[in-house]
Chains A and B, each alone.
Chain A
Amino acid sequence: MIEEINSSKVEPPNYLDREDKLKWLMSTYGNDVIRVAYTYLKQRQLAEDVAQDVFIKCYEKMDDFRNESSYKTWILKITVNKCKDVLKSWAFKNLLFTDYFGNKQEDRTIESKLLKKEESQLISQQVMELPLKLREVIILFYYQEFSIEEISVLLKVNSNTIKTRLHRGRLKLKQSFEGE
């Protein structure tokens, strides 16, 4: 059902030059990029940095874009790769360690909100708590509304693996809800 939804076919008008095309991409996909980045990195500053890098790269590689995928898939693929580079970097691991107490304080804030039993906050928080491999497929499928095939291309992972991860992700979320 959701797989039929394809909102990713939006493209910038052809008459735009490179810079205007970039502006169009930023206004259309800017929030998607930075929010996906945030779901990976869980840090606003890093998400902003990644988003900027993504659009700079888009500008540089604009002429190489062959319309083999949608602009949205292309941009989010760059975003995912950038985020994974950051997650692998020594600097990120070090930053994660030093930010440990800060995250806990945020968690406590979220925990207090959870006490209000607001479903939106609860599900959002539980998604963010998922392990990365499960979280990314949940975000791309339910949040970005990509099809399994699109996610498979975007992550370069077999579609059956995507399905398995989606299943495991849902299962884990269910267990988390039941534990609340």
Chain B
Amino acid sequence: MENKLINLKDKMNETVLRDINFNAELEQKVLSSIKNKKSRPFPFRNKFNSFLSLAVTTVFFLGMVYFVGTKLHLFEDPQGNNASIPKEKIIEPTKNGTANTSFEEPNYINKNDISKETVFSELKKYLPKDVLANMPNFKQEDMDESTLYLWSKNEPNSDNFIHKIEVIFNENGFKQYHYKNYSFDLKENKISKDVANKMVGNFANSFISDGNQLSFVNKPAWDSLYEKDVIESWVAEKDNKEYIVMVNLTYGYVEFFTIQDKLN
């Protein structure tokens, strides 16, 4: 068999492959094909595809950068202010230490001159935006000599509260304060911790007789309300008492205040 396969090339070329040749016509076809490929202008479609691909990649990349940046708070300034929040919504203290127009200096009041008007005129600085303008069926109730409830309801004789302000006084002013929102649509009014700190100081000056002697520190307290970076607490200590002020940073108001015996 081996002998028969010798010179197979010649044998096949003379027989089955006799008419199979790479002739000049085929050669010319190859050369033409190559020349056509060379001379063909860069098609617009390819350009468009490249552009589209680049655009999609860029958008995707920027999207990822934005997403990661927001998650890692890379777009916030070192003071912790959120750059994505419009500046006008942030109440910043002025350079001389006083608050801006929406953040007025406190006026001290006490139980002796308590009235709806006096409390409201002062409390409005520490309440959420537009609360006082939205007090239908308002009612003020002196539960006893030291307790004042101010509330608003959808219907006068129902339990369907809109919001409620509870104040308990002692001889030095406020002993406890709590603004409770039930169904009022709060308007977002984000404030920084610096602003909140100033607000806490003013609140103490307004409603505590020796409030100007208190030195508040921002630290977690009052677990039932505390929520990091949302509802922050400021604590001051004096005469074995703890003064706790809770500020809602999202809506920019004082939500809670109390004085309690210091836990040892």
* Cβ B15 vs Cβ A120 within 8 A: yes
A-B contact pairs, 26 of them (CB 8 A): A19-B34, A22-B34, A26-B30, A30-B21, A31-B20, A31-B22, A34-B20, A35-B13, A35-B17, A38-B20, A47-B20, A51-B26, A59-B34, A110-B16, A113-B15, A119-B4, A121-B15, A124-B8, A127-B12, A138-B5, A138-B8, A142-B6, A142-B8, A143-B9, A170-B2, A170-B5
Q: Would B16 and A31 count as touching, CB distance under 8 A?
A: no
- Please tell me the size bucket of the interface on A: 35 or more
Interface residues of B (CB under 8 A from A): 1-2, 4-6, 8-17, 19-22, 26-27, 29-31, 33-34
Asked if A124 meets B12 with Cβ closer than 8 Å, knowing A23-B27, A30-B22, A35-B20, the reply is yes
Chain B residues near A55 (CB-CB < 8 A): 30
The SS class assigned to the B binding surface is helix
Which residues of B are found within 8 Å of A113, using beta-carbon distances? 15
Given A138-B5, A170-B1, A44 and B30 touching (CB < 8 A)?
no
Majority-rule SS of A interface residues? helix
Whether A48 contacts B19 by the Cβ 8 Å rule is no
A146 to chain B, nearest CB (A): 12
Q: Are A22 and B30 in contact (CB under 8 A)?
A: yes
Cβ–Cβ < 8 Å partners of B2 in chain A: 170
A26-B22 in contact given A56-B30, A143-B9 (Cβ < 8 Å)? yes
Q: Is there contact, CB below 8 Å, between A145 and B9?
A: yes
A52 engages B33 (CB within 8 Å): yes
